[in-house]
Amino acid sequence: KLKADTLKIIYIDLDGVIADFITAIENHPLRNQAPYDIHPDTIPNIFLNLGTIPGAFDAVNTLLDDNRFEIYFLSTAPWNNTSAWTDKRIWLENLFGNKINRRLILTHRKDLLKGDVLIDDRPNNGAEHFQGKILEFASTEFPDWGSILKELEQE
């Protein structure tokens, strides 16, 4: 196993990268009712039962089992939906079990974290100023998890 100081630190965003938040919003019965029609991320417990992005479960497990990487999950939770903060942690643990113990970071300033790679689908909440390499998930260059894994294999 590699020494801790040689591991590459990889941050993985949740919504739109692992968690299928868009489908959950589109299918939620409260989606068209105020105030959720304007702020769907404030629907109570919306983050608790999300589906996964195709390929995400297997890809993330591959990364978690790779001794070259130290994996952290990085997400922004809506300030006005306090259940989201707990729901994201429970969702992640239900999906990956104890492998993710103490690996979730919730922040509105992703640029403050030190690391080698950030996998994110949007340049928001400081992601656009992350000091390491940014792999923009669902972009032309990285359209899916297969392309992300291929890129990380070269790290």
Contact 49, 25 (CB under 8 A): no
For tokens 């032309």, what's the residue?
140
* Active-site residue (options: 5, 15, 111, 144): 15
Our answer to whether residue 15 is catalytic in this structure is yes
| Whole-angstrom distance, CA of residue 38 vs CA of residue 155 | 41
Contact 84, 76 (CB under 8 A): no
DSSP 8-state secondary structure symbol assigned to residue 116 = S
Q: Which of 8, 46, 53 is nearest to 155 (CA)?
A: 8
Our answer to whether residue 13 is catalytic in this structure is yes
* Active-site residue (options: 13, 87, 120, 121): 13
| Whole-angstrom distance, CA of residue 81 vs CA of residue 106 | 13
Q: Would you please indicate which residues are annotated as catalytic (active-site) residues?
A: 13, 15
